[in-house]
Amino acid sequence: MDGINAAMLLAGVLLLIGIASSKFSARLGMPVLVLFLAVGMLAGSEGIGRIPFENYLLANSVGSAALALILFDGGLRTSLDCVGRVWKQALALSTVGVLLTSVITGLAAAWILDMPLLQGLLLGSIVGSTDAAAVFSVLRTSGLRLPERLTATLEVESGSNDPMAIFLTIGLIGLINGQAGSGSELLLLFITQFGVGALVGVGAGRLAALAVNRINLDHPGLYPLLAMAFGLLAFGLAAVLGGSGFLAVYLAGIVLGSSPIVWRRGIFLFHDAAAWLGQIVLFVMLGLLSFPSRLAAVAWEGLLIALVLILVARPVAVLVAATPFRYDARELTLLSWVGLKGAVPITLATFPLMAGVAGSHVIFNAVFFVVLISAVSQGWSLPAVARRLRLGRPADPAPPLSVEIHALRHVDGEIVDYTVRPGAPAAGLRLRELARPDGMVVTLVVRRRQVVIPRGATALEPGDHVFVALRGRVKPLIDRLFSPEAMELPLPTDLDLSFPASTTLGQLKRFFALAEPLAPAAAAHTLAHLLEHGQAGASARFGPLAISPGPDPDGVRVRAARALAQAAPAAG
């Protein structure tokens, strides 16, 4: 009993130190995962805490559970729209990119450490994937906002590249130990990792959304636990069936987070806290698992391997895998630099130890050292590199006011807090100058901690927090209205909204962030005027929009132009 009490006391102390270090990390600009690792190393058997810990099986199990929590939270915050825009390049980076990174790093490791080629390639495979926990942590605590396409690419790649790393690691361990299967068996392992993981993840996410919306729980606090249960179910079921549990739990989070669900804010807040807990437990535990004296023994070799990985292998992999998708040189450079390593490589490095691979302790220590170099150099310098490349801007300030409506059960609606950012279509406009579709109302404006009651003459200034009550189908368009990257975002293919007939073409152009030229005289024309001067009863075209009479005499229907069944006159 005393041992259990001591363990609880120790866990509480380490958790408090981990939370305190996150505040310290923000002031230093250092990635928080580095400080969590440092806390674990200081508490370990060769640190001031003198806590003996060398249980690789337990570390693997606890690490997998913590990674599941981190990936599920990351998935909740990654929209299906983002996945739809970048899935091809993310898939290329998570397969071809991981393979190239692993081979180049592995060849260098075999030469630097003077070890057999297969052991070198095994080390390369372990560090070949971009770590989701590290990427999510650095991107969300760096105080920097990257362009949405780059952020989506990095997050989807890091969340989906673990199956390739696991496949390569398991396959090479089998070859080294003489237990490798045939080529067809290895191919089946690869397909199973991706295929089963993807199917289970999507299925679990849909079931989770259905359960959260249909079940009528008496206690609101149970909804986040219900969502977590489906995340853990996705991870466990995929792993039992031979698929990638990491991919499954990430996809389950994406599907659930992109669905209209009740108690959404509470679910997101709970899993944000769970992901923080997972990061603290994971990196502190991995720090406990390390031995600084052993790391010092491979310091020079680990540094050389890290340099090859960061400066050669990752850039070559990005160049080959991402260039076909029309990234420019600055974007390719940033993609190369954010090939962060973290918990997954250290967790994978326990596989050779448990399998009894010759030289596995050298591999583990070298991997740990490479992760430290990657986290410190790439994670710490990310904001400076992004600013140097002119690809980043300061993240939006935290809202001074938050709103959550607990009564929204099975209702297609929510209140969303938007930050007015410089360059967004809404910035600098008065509310009366904004086209406002049916299903959207500005309810409140907060400016420098002062409440502004919204009126037609209220101008939206950069930094304002605008609370908008809206229906779910309108949200993707309102997101564009407050995004500086609105011109780069595609219009929804199922666009079908109703606007007041008095809405002008100029207002419509600003609302949809359209690039179509519009003469000043035409900008003042209303939608009613446009339809009156077109073909009787027919739709009109305005850029990618189709405009037609609505069921309400005072309303006009606006759809995606591809939905038109017949040719119509163009506006402007």
Q: What is the CATH number of the domain that holds 370?
A: 1.20.1530.20
> Any idea which residue has 């079931």 for tokens?
207
Higher pLDDT, 472 or 331: 331
CATH of the domain at 423: 3.30.70.1450
Q: With bands split at pLDDT 50, 70 and 90, how would you rate the model's confidence at 207?
A: very high
Those residues whose C-beta lies under 8 Å from the C-beta of residue 88, and which sit 6 or more positions away, are: 325
Lowest mean pLDDT segment, chosen from 68-72, 79-83, 490-494: 490-494
Q: Which residues contact 97 (CB under 8 A, 6 or more apart)?
A: 157, 161, 317, 318, 320, 321, 322
Q: What is the mean pLDDT of residues 492-499?
A: 76
How confident is the model at residue 395, as a pLDDT? 62
Given pLDDT bands bounded at 50, 70 and 90, which one contains residue 305? Answer: very high
Mean pLDDT over each residue of the chain, to the nearest integer:
80
The first and second tokens of residue 132, run together, are 């989701």
Cα torsion through 164, 170, 171, 172, rounded to 10: 110
Whether 271 and 312 map to the same domain: the answer is: yes
Tell me, yes or no, whether 50 and 168 share the same domain. Answer: yes
Distance CA 340, CA 157 (A): 11
Higher pLDDT, 217 or 31: 217
**Exposure string over 256-288, b if 16+ CB within 10 A, otherwise e:** bbbbbbbbbebbbebbeebbbbbbbbbbbbbbb
**Predicted pLDDT of residue 413:** 66
Between 78 and 180, the more confident residue is: 78
Contact yes or no for 45/52 (Cβ under 8 A): yes
From 466, 489, 512, the end of a domain falls on 489
Residue 162 has pLDDT above 70, yes or no: yes
pLDDT in tens, 266-281: 888 888 888 888 888 8
Question: Quick one: DSSP state of residue 399?
Answer: P
pLDDT for the residue numbered 24: 61
> Do 279 and 303 belong together in one domain?
yes
For residues 186 and 309, membership in a common domain is answered with yes
Q: How confident is the model at residue 407 (pLDDT cuts 50, 70, 90)?
A: very low
Residues 414 and 349 in one domain: no
- Out of 365, 394, 423, a domain closes at 394
Q: How far apart are CA 481 and CA 568, in angstroms?
A: 27
Question: Within its chain, how far is the Cα of 198 from the centroid?
Answer: 17
Q: What is the pLDDT of residue 567?
A: 37
pLDDT at 28 over 60: no
Helix, coil or strand: residue 572: coil
pLDDT at 529: 79
pLDDT at 427 over 70: yes
Percent of the chain with pLDDT over 70: 83
Confidence band for 397, pLDDT divided at 50, 70 and 90: low
Q: What is the DSSP-derived secondary structure letter of residue 249?
A: H
pLDDT at 205: 94
Q: What is the CATH number of the domain that holds 545?
A: 3.30.465
Q: Are residues 296 and 336 in the same domain?
A: yes
User: Over the stretch 361-394, which tens digit does the pLDDT of each residue have?
Assistant: 899 889 888 988 888 888 778 778 888 888 866 6
- Residue 569: pLDDT band (50, 70, 90) is very low
Whether residue 261 is found in the same domain as residue 345: yes
Over residues 17-27, mean pLDDT? 63
Ordered DSSP codes for 512-534: TT------HHHHT-BHHHHHHTS
Beta bridge partners of 452: 445
Give the structural domain span for 60.
2-21+30-394
The rounded distance, in Å, linking the Cα atoms of 369 and 310 is 13
Q: Quick one: pLDDT at residue 404?
A: 54
**Same-domain status, 454 and 424:** yes
Q: Say which residues have a Cβ less than 8 Å from residue 296's Cβ, sequence separation at least 6.
A: none
Dihedral sign, CA of 264, 267, 269, 272? negative
Do residues 104 and 193 share a domain?
A: yes
| 71 in the same domain as 9 | yes
The more confidently predicted of residues 407 and 79 is 79
> Which of the pair, 410 or 117, is modelled with greater confidence?
117
Residue in 265, 262, 268 with CA at minimum distance from that of residue 211: 262
Q: Are residues 453 and 513 in the same domain?
A: no
pLDDT value of position 31:
65
Cβ contacts of 366 within 8 Å, gap of 6 or more: 109, 113, 123, 298, 301, 302, 305
Lowest mean pLDDT among 33-47, 325-339, 464-478: 33-47
Domain boundary among 489, 520, 554: 489
Lowest mean pLDDT among 401-405, 461-465, 520-524, 526-530: 401-405
Residues 349, 472: one domain? no
Once rounded to an integer, what is the mean pLDDT over residues 301-315?
A: 93
- The per-residue pLDDT for range 230-250, each reduced to its tens digit, is 999 999 999 899 888 888 998
> Is residue 562 predicted with pLDDT exceeding 70?
no
Residue 30, pLDDT > 70, answer: no
- Three-state DSSP class for 241? coil
For the chain, how many structural domains are there in total? 3
Task: Please check the confidence at residue 519 and state whether its pLDDT lies above 80.
Answer: no
The four Cα atoms 424, 326, 310, 355 give a dihedral, to 10 degrees, of: 110
Q: What is the mean pLDDT of residues 506-529?
A: 78
Contacts of 179 (CB under 8 A, 6+ apart): none
Q: What pLDDT is stored for residue 441 in this prediction?
A: 86
